[in-house]
Amino acid sequence: MIDSAWQRLSQGQLNLLATCPPMFQRNYLEQLTLPISPEQTERVNWGNRFHLLMQQRELNLPIEPFLAEDPEMERSLTALIQAAPELFQDHSYTWRGAEHPRTLAYQGYLFTVIYDLLLLNPKSAQIIDWKTYLKPKNRAELAANWQTRLYLYVLAETSAYLPPEISLTYWFVQLPHQPQSLTFNYNLDQHQRTEQDLTRLLTQLNQWLEAYEQRKIPFPHRLDCQYDCPYYSFLLEGNQPTQSQNWQQLLSEIDEISLE
């Protein structure tokens, strides 16, 4: 049994910690989060309903109530099935799991990931993740995102699959754009780099937590924060975020929608 004293961290918290430590302090230690807009609330709700729809479908449970209430969701599901029939018609997988959770204990922290769909063969493991926003133009940013890195890392650490046998595919499903995908294949070098970067980030977090809790020293800005951090001006000036900062979108895309 894992000690309950272990601290839990999500990929969203890792992303924010890597992007802006002071904002991590503000959001997670001081609980000073801002309410999201009605538009963003609706987007989150739609994403949650879509995830539940796909879980129900995978479990062969009725999905008609979802589709009857939301014609857009029905169109999105139909378009996804047409774009990726292999996800739904290929019977070569020896195991399939929807909303499949895995937990990794690492250096005093617990990391829980929830795979929207996990497809297993004796020599391959494919993670599928449903995204309800538009496909990003910059593939490198998504590759560097801690969701991508942590999902692949945790599966390699909690299964018998070797890194080259593991892949992660994002499916961007919401219309009016036709469903599109991005696949990230894993390898041993990536696995080792993720472990090194995760160790470094957790070491920094432990140091900052100790300084904050014992001496009230705030989490520091990163050296390049002034140029690269989307929250730098807001934190420096102590003002409310402006429209141009696109604050709510930035925060909303830090965390991944998942059903727990």
pLDDT, tens digit, for every residue of 142-164?
A: 999 999 999 999 999 999 999 99
Distance of alpha carbon 249 from alpha carbon 259, whole angstroms: 20
Percent above pLDDT 70 for the chain: 83
Q: What is the pLDDT of residue 92?
A: 83
Distance of alpha carbon 43 from alpha carbon 49, whole angstroms: 10
Amino acid found at 226: Q
Distance of alpha carbon 250 from alpha carbon 248, whole angstroms: 5
> Tokens 């990726």 belong to which residue?
84
Q: Which residue has the higher pLDDT, 251 or 91?
A: 91
How many other C-beta atoms can be found within 10 angstroms of the C-beta atom of residue 203?
A: 11
Residue 58: strand, helix, or coil = helix
Using 50, 70 and 90 to split pLDDT, how confident is the model at 66?
confident
- Choose the weakest-confidence range: 1-5, 91-95, 229-233: 1-5
Q: Exposed, middle or buried, 255 (CB in 10 Å: 0-12/13-18/19+)?
A: middle
C-beta of residue 134 within 8 angstroms of C-beta of residue 172: yes
pLDDT, tens digit, for every residue of 213-255?
A: 998 998 988 876 665 666 666 666 554 444 334 444 444 444 4
C-beta of residue 32 within 8 angstroms of C-beta of residue 26: yes
Q: What is the pLDDT of residue 81?
A: 95
Residue 205: strand, helix, or coil = helix
Give the CA distances from residue 57 to residues 62, 91, 94, 253, in Å, rounded to whole numbers and listed in that order: 7, 16, 18, 26
Percent above pLDDT 90 for the chain: 61
Mean pLDDT value of segment 194-203: 98
